[in-house]
Amino acid sequence: MLCLLEHLNFKVPLATGERVIQDFFVKKLGCPECPSGRMRVSPPVKGPVKEGVAKQMHVNLGLSQIHFEWCTGDGREFAQPQRLEGTVTIAVKDLNLLEKRLGEGKKIGYYYKNDHGRETKLVVMDPFGMTTWICEQATAEFQKNLAQFGQVRPGGVGEVLGILRIDYNCQIGVSASIAKFYEEMFQIPVTKHANGHAIRTKFGQIISFNETMTGPPPDAYEVNPAAWGIHMCFYIEDFKENSNKLQRLFWVNPDYKIPPINDNVSTVEEALERKQFRIKHLGERFVFEHEIRAINHPLSPIKQILHARL
Protein backbone atom coordinates (compact mmCIF):
# COMPACT_ATOMS: atom_id res chain seq x y z
CA MET A 1 0.00 0.00 0.00
CA LEU A 2 1.07 3.59 -0.61
CA CYS A 3 1.95 4.99 2.81
CA LEU A 4 3.21 8.49 2.14
CA LEU A 5 3.58 10.93 -0.72
CA GLU A 6 7.03 12.04 0.39
CA HIS A 7 8.18 14.48 -2.27
CA LEU A 8 7.40 16.31 -5.46
CA ASN A 9 10.33 17.03 -7.79
CA PHE A 10 10.49 20.04 -10.11
CA LYS A 11 13.20 21.34 -12.41
CA VAL A 12 13.58 25.13 -12.30
CA PRO A 13 15.69 27.68 -14.23
CA LEU A 14 19.35 27.89 -13.25
CA ALA A 15 19.38 31.67 -13.60
CA THR A 16 16.73 32.38 -10.96
CA GLY A 17 16.11 29.03 -9.29
CA GLU A 18 17.90 29.25 -5.95
CA ARG A 19 17.02 32.91 -5.37
CA VAL A 20 13.30 32.36 -5.98
CA ILE A 21 13.22 29.21 -3.84
CA GLN A 22 14.88 31.01 -0.93
CA ASP A 23 12.59 34.02 -1.20
CA PHE A 24 9.25 32.34 -1.79
CA PHE A 25 9.38 28.79 -0.45
CA VAL A 26 11.80 29.29 2.45
CA LYS A 27 11.08 32.86 3.62
CA LYS A 28 7.46 33.42 2.62
CA LEU A 29 5.90 29.95 2.87
CA GLY A 30 8.22 29.01 5.74
CA CYS A 31 9.60 25.72 4.38
CA PRO A 32 13.09 25.21 5.86
CA GLU A 33 15.85 23.96 3.61
CA CYS A 34 17.01 20.39 4.17
CA PRO A 35 20.85 20.56 4.09
CA SER A 36 21.20 16.97 2.90
CA GLY A 37 19.47 17.95 -0.36
CA ARG A 38 22.50 19.97 -1.49
CA MET A 39 23.94 17.47 -3.95
CA ARG A 40 26.64 18.89 -6.22
CA VAL A 41 27.80 18.67 -9.83
CA SER A 42 30.19 15.75 -10.28
CA PRO A 43 32.59 14.69 -13.06
CA PRO A 44 32.51 14.09 -15.93
CA VAL A 45 31.07 17.60 -16.34
CA LYS A 46 29.19 18.17 -19.63
CA GLY A 47 27.54 21.53 -19.03
CA PRO A 48 28.38 25.08 -17.99
CA VAL A 49 27.84 24.52 -14.25
CA LYS A 50 31.18 23.77 -12.65
CA GLU A 51 32.11 20.74 -10.59
CA GLY A 52 31.28 21.16 -6.92
CA VAL A 53 28.48 23.69 -7.44
CA ALA A 54 25.11 22.72 -5.91
CA LYS A 55 22.77 21.19 -8.48
CA GLN A 56 19.61 21.27 -6.36
CA MET A 57 18.02 21.92 -2.99
CA HIS A 58 15.19 20.42 -0.94
CA VAL A 59 12.69 22.19 1.32
CA ASN A 60 10.74 20.49 4.10
CA LEU A 61 6.96 20.28 4.45
CA GLY A 62 6.47 18.14 7.54
CA LEU A 63 6.92 14.51 6.50
CA SER A 64 7.07 15.60 2.86
CA GLN A 65 9.39 17.74 0.77
CA ILE A 66 9.67 19.61 -2.49
CA HIS A 67 12.84 18.89 -4.48
CA PHE A 68 14.14 21.54 -6.85
CA GLU A 69 16.83 20.95 -9.47
CA TRP A 70 18.44 23.70 -11.58
CA CYS A 71 20.93 21.50 -13.42
CA THR A 72 21.84 17.87 -13.98
CA GLY A 73 24.50 16.05 -12.03
CA ASP A 74 26.96 16.66 -14.87
CA GLY A 75 26.28 20.40 -15.03
CA ARG A 76 23.72 20.79 -17.84
CA GLU A 77 21.44 23.67 -16.86
CA PHE A 78 17.65 23.79 -16.94
CA ALA A 79 16.12 26.86 -18.57
CA GLN A 80 12.42 26.68 -17.67
CA PRO A 81 10.28 25.68 -14.70
CA GLN A 82 8.26 22.50 -14.90
CA ARG A 83 4.53 22.53 -14.26
CA LEU A 84 2.10 20.43 -12.32
CA GLU A 85 -1.15 21.01 -14.17
CA GLY A 86 -3.54 21.33 -11.25
CA THR A 87 -3.14 22.26 -7.60
CA VAL A 88 -1.20 21.22 -4.50
CA THR A 89 -2.95 21.60 -1.15
CA ILE A 90 -0.68 22.07 1.86
CA ALA A 91 -1.32 22.29 5.61
CA VAL A 92 0.19 25.32 7.36
CA LYS A 93 0.79 25.94 11.04
CA ASP A 94 -0.80 29.40 11.13
CA LEU A 95 -2.74 30.79 8.17
CA ASN A 96 -2.83 34.31 9.60
CA LEU A 97 0.94 34.45 10.01
CA LEU A 98 1.36 33.12 6.49
CA GLU A 99 -0.76 35.99 5.21
CA LYS A 100 1.57 38.44 6.93
CA ARG A 101 4.67 36.77 5.53
CA LEU A 102 3.26 36.95 2.01
CA GLY A 103 2.74 40.67 2.54
CA GLU A 104 3.50 42.58 -0.62
CA GLY A 105 3.22 39.37 -2.58
CA LYS A 106 -0.53 39.91 -2.82
CA LYS A 107 0.21 42.57 -5.43
CA ILE A 108 1.93 40.11 -7.76
CA GLY A 109 -0.55 37.29 -7.93
CA TYR A 110 -1.47 35.99 -4.49
CA TYR A 111 -5.17 35.94 -3.78
CA TYR A 112 -7.70 34.58 -1.33
CA LYS A 113 -10.42 32.03 -1.70
CA ASN A 114 -13.23 32.87 0.66
CA ASP A 115 -15.74 30.51 2.25
CA HIS A 116 -18.95 32.47 2.81
CA GLY A 117 -17.00 35.62 3.57
CA ARG A 118 -14.64 33.92 6.03
CA GLU A 119 -11.04 33.51 4.92
CA THR A 120 -10.26 29.82 5.28
CA LYS A 121 -7.63 29.33 2.59
CA LEU A 122 -4.86 31.16 0.84
CA VAL A 123 -4.58 30.31 -2.84
CA VAL A 124 -1.15 31.16 -4.17
CA MET A 125 0.64 30.91 -7.50
CA ASP A 126 4.37 30.51 -6.97
CA PRO A 127 6.72 32.89 -8.85
CA PHE A 128 7.89 30.09 -11.16
CA GLY A 129 4.30 29.39 -12.25
CA MET A 130 4.81 25.70 -11.40
CA THR A 131 1.35 25.18 -9.95
CA THR A 132 -1.29 26.68 -7.67
CA TRP A 133 -0.73 26.12 -3.95
CA ILE A 134 -3.84 25.93 -1.77
CA CYS A 135 -2.81 26.71 1.80
CA GLU A 136 -5.13 25.42 4.54
CA GLN A 137 -4.95 25.82 8.30
CA ALA A 138 -3.70 22.55 9.81
CA THR A 139 -6.12 21.06 12.33
CA ALA A 140 -5.08 20.50 15.93
CA GLU A 141 -5.30 16.74 15.31
CA PHE A 142 -3.01 16.99 12.29
CA GLN A 143 -0.44 18.94 14.28
CA LYS A 144 -0.62 16.46 17.17
CA ASN A 145 -0.07 13.50 14.84
CA LEU A 146 2.91 15.20 13.19
CA ALA A 147 4.49 16.06 16.55
CA GLN A 148 5.11 12.38 17.28
CA PHE A 149 7.76 12.33 14.56
CA GLY A 150 9.85 15.11 16.12
CA GLN A 151 12.19 17.05 13.83
CA VAL A 152 11.70 14.39 11.10
CA ARG A 153 14.84 15.30 9.09
CA PRO A 154 17.66 17.89 8.94
CA GLY A 155 16.26 21.41 8.76
CA GLY A 156 13.20 20.60 10.84
CA VAL A 157 9.49 20.85 10.09
CA GLY A 158 8.90 24.59 9.66
CA GLU A 159 5.64 26.43 9.00
CA VAL A 160 4.24 24.11 6.30
CA LEU A 161 3.26 20.85 7.98
CA GLY A 162 2.49 18.59 5.06
CA ILE A 163 1.12 17.92 1.61
CA LEU A 164 -2.58 17.18 1.98
CA ARG A 165 -3.68 16.75 -1.60
CA ILE A 166 -2.60 16.76 -5.24
CA ASP A 167 -5.17 17.57 -7.91
CA TYR A 168 -3.73 16.69 -11.30
CA ASN A 169 -5.51 17.66 -14.52
CA CYS A 170 -5.73 14.98 -17.20
CA GLN A 171 -7.61 14.58 -20.45
CA ILE A 172 -11.15 13.22 -20.73
CA GLY A 173 -11.30 9.43 -20.47
CA VAL A 174 -7.85 8.95 -18.91
CA SER A 175 -8.46 8.81 -15.14
CA ALA A 176 -10.15 5.38 -15.06
CA SER A 177 -7.08 3.55 -16.39
CA ILE A 178 -4.83 5.46 -13.97
CA ALA A 179 -7.07 4.49 -11.06
CA LYS A 180 -7.13 0.87 -12.20
CA PHE A 181 -3.33 0.82 -12.22
CA TYR A 182 -3.06 2.04 -8.62
CA GLU A 183 -5.81 -0.30 -7.47
CA GLU A 184 -4.29 -3.40 -9.05
CA MET A 185 -0.63 -2.68 -8.38
CA PHE A 186 -0.80 -1.20 -4.90
CA GLN A 187 -4.04 -2.72 -3.55
CA ILE A 188 -5.50 0.63 -2.57
CA PRO A 189 -9.11 1.76 -2.76
CA VAL A 190 -10.10 4.11 -5.55
CA THR A 191 -12.82 6.74 -5.32
CA LYS A 192 -14.76 7.79 -8.40
CA HIS A 193 -15.99 11.37 -8.31
CA ALA A 194 -17.78 13.73 -10.70
CA ASN A 195 -14.62 14.76 -12.55
CA GLY A 196 -12.44 11.66 -12.39
CA HIS A 197 -10.85 9.29 -9.87
CA ALA A 198 -8.85 9.69 -6.67
CA ILE A 199 -6.58 7.56 -4.49
CA ARG A 200 -5.59 7.97 -0.84
CA THR A 201 -2.34 7.21 0.96
CA LYS A 202 -2.23 5.61 4.39
CA PHE A 203 -1.36 9.02 5.83
CA GLY A 204 -4.61 10.39 4.37
CA GLN A 205 -3.15 12.34 1.45
CA ILE A 206 -5.36 12.42 -1.64
CA ILE A 207 -4.11 12.29 -5.22
CA SER A 208 -6.97 13.10 -7.55
CA PHE A 209 -6.84 12.81 -11.34
CA ASN A 210 -9.38 15.28 -12.64
CA GLU A 211 -10.56 15.09 -16.24
CA THR A 212 -10.75 18.36 -18.13
CA MET A 213 -10.82 19.51 -21.73
CA THR A 214 -7.62 21.49 -21.14
CA GLY A 215 -5.63 18.71 -19.48
CA PRO A 216 -2.20 17.85 -20.92
CA PRO A 217 -1.88 14.73 -23.09
CA PRO A 218 -1.45 11.46 -21.16
CA ASP A 219 2.12 11.16 -22.46
CA ALA A 220 2.98 14.80 -21.68
CA TYR A 221 5.99 13.62 -19.67
CA GLU A 222 7.54 12.29 -22.89
CA VAL A 223 6.08 14.85 -25.32
CA ASN A 224 7.59 17.81 -23.45
CA PRO A 225 9.69 16.67 -20.47
CA ALA A 226 11.18 20.15 -20.02
CA ALA A 227 7.71 21.41 -19.08
CA TRP A 228 5.93 18.37 -17.67
CA GLY A 229 8.62 15.89 -16.58
CA ILE A 230 7.98 16.17 -12.84
CA HIS A 231 7.96 13.18 -10.53
CA MET A 232 6.38 12.08 -7.27
CA CYS A 233 7.99 9.88 -4.61
CA PHE A 234 5.94 7.41 -2.57
CA TYR A 235 6.89 5.23 0.37
CA ILE A 236 5.17 1.86 0.31
CA GLU A 237 4.58 -1.22 2.40
CA ASP A 238 5.27 -4.75 1.10
CA PHE A 239 8.23 -3.45 -0.89
CA LYS A 240 9.54 -6.85 -2.00
CA GLU A 241 6.12 -7.98 -3.20
CA ASN A 242 5.59 -4.76 -5.14
CA SER A 243 9.09 -4.89 -6.61
CA ASN A 244 8.37 -8.30 -8.07
CA LYS A 245 4.99 -7.20 -9.34
CA LEU A 246 6.27 -4.02 -10.99
CA GLN A 247 9.64 -5.21 -12.29
CA ARG A 248 8.44 -5.21 -15.90
CA LEU A 249 7.82 -1.46 -15.54
CA PHE A 250 11.15 -0.56 -13.91
CA TRP A 251 12.71 2.48 -15.55
CA VAL A 252 16.10 4.13 -15.10
CA ASN A 253 15.97 7.93 -15.42
CA PRO A 254 19.14 8.95 -17.32
CA ASP A 255 19.34 12.22 -15.34
CA TYR A 256 19.78 10.21 -12.13
CA LYS A 257 21.82 7.32 -13.47
CA ILE A 258 24.91 9.55 -13.39
CA PRO A 259 26.77 10.92 -10.35
CA PRO A 260 26.10 12.18 -7.76
CA ILE A 261 22.90 10.12 -7.49
CA ASN A 262 23.90 6.93 -9.35
CA ASP A 263 20.34 5.60 -9.31
CA ASN A 264 20.50 2.60 -11.60
CA VAL A 265 17.84 0.06 -10.63
CA SER A 266 16.57 -2.35 -13.28
CA THR A 267 16.19 -5.65 -11.38
CA VAL A 268 14.38 -6.75 -8.24
CA GLU A 269 17.72 -7.54 -6.62
CA GLU A 270 18.92 -3.98 -7.23
CA ALA A 271 15.62 -2.59 -5.97
CA LEU A 272 15.89 -4.57 -2.73
CA GLU A 273 19.48 -3.44 -2.27
CA ARG A 274 18.71 0.24 -2.90
CA LYS A 275 15.25 0.04 -1.31
CA GLN A 276 13.77 1.91 -4.27
CA PHE A 277 12.92 1.81 -7.97
CA ARG A 278 11.32 4.06 -10.58
CA ILE A 279 8.45 3.59 -13.00
CA LYS A 280 6.83 6.00 -15.46
CA HIS A 281 4.06 4.12 -17.32
CA LEU A 282 0.81 4.00 -15.35
CA GLY A 283 -2.21 2.40 -16.92
CA GLU A 284 -2.80 2.15 -20.64
CA ARG A 285 -1.37 5.46 -21.86
CA PHE A 286 -0.48 7.60 -18.86
CA VAL A 287 3.16 8.58 -18.30
CA PHE A 288 4.18 10.09 -14.95
CA GLU A 289 7.45 9.26 -13.21
CA HIS A 290 7.08 7.68 -9.78
CA GLU A 291 9.96 7.04 -7.42
CA ILE A 292 8.93 4.15 -5.18
CA ARG A 293 10.74 3.62 -1.88
CA ALA A 294 10.56 1.13 0.97
CA ILE A 295 9.50 2.58 4.32
CA ASN A 296 12.89 1.54 5.74
CA HIS A 297 14.77 3.45 3.03
CA PRO A 298 17.76 5.35 4.51
CA LEU A 299 16.06 8.71 3.80
CA SER A 300 12.63 7.65 5.07
CA PRO A 301 11.01 10.15 7.46
CA ILE A 302 8.90 7.32 8.91
CA LYS A 303 11.46 4.52 9.25
CA GLN A 304 11.82 4.94 13.02
CA ILE A 305 8.21 4.02 13.66
CA LEU A 306 7.47 1.84 10.62
CA HIS A 307 4.08 0.17 11.12
CA ALA A 308 3.70 1.00 14.80
CA ARG A 309 1.96 4.35 14.42
CA LEU A 310 0.70 4.32 10.83
The beta strand positions in the chain, using DSSP E, are: 2-11, 33-34, 56-61, 64-69, 86-92, 111-115, 118-125, 132-137, 160-170, 190-193, 196-200, 206-211, 231-236, 276-282, 286-294
Structure confidence by residue, pLDDT tens digits, 92-133: 999 999 988 887 545 445 555 555 555 578 999 999 999 999
Residue 275 lies in a domain: yes
Least confident of 7-16, 38-47, 97-106, 129-138: 97-106
CATH code for position 267 = 3.10.180.10
Residue 302 lies in a domain: no
Residues 6+ apart with CB under 8 A from 147: none
CA distances from 5 to 123, 267, 295 (A): 21, 23, 11
Look up the domain containing 177 and give its range.
Answer: 2-294
Residue 303 lies in a domain: no
- Say how far residue 261 (Cα) sits from the centre of its chain: 18
CA distances from 182 to 179, 190, 220, 252, 286 (A): 5, 8, 19, 20, 12
Residue 301 lies in a domain: no
What is the amino acid identity at position 241? E
Residue 300 lies in a domain: no
Residue 299 lies in a domain: no
Residue 117 lies in a domain: yes
Supply the DSSP symbol for 21: I
pLDDT of residue 300: 94
Average pLDDT score over residue span 145-161: 93
Say if strands 160-170 and 196-200 run parallel, antiparallel, or are unpaired. Answer: unpaired
Residue 307 lies in a domain: no
Confidence at 303, pLDDT banded by 50, 70, 90: confident
Average pLDDT score over residue span 214-230: 96
Average pLDDT score over residue span 168-182: 96
Round to whole Å and give the CA distance between 10 and 13: 10
Instruction: Name the domain count of the chain.
Output: 1
pLDDT of residue 120: 75
193 pLDDT more than 80: yes
pLDDT of residue 283: 86
What does pLDDT average to over the chain? Answer: 93
pLDDT of residue 306: 54
Task: Give yes or no for a contact between 226 and 82, defined as CB atoms under 8 angstroms apart.
Answer: yes
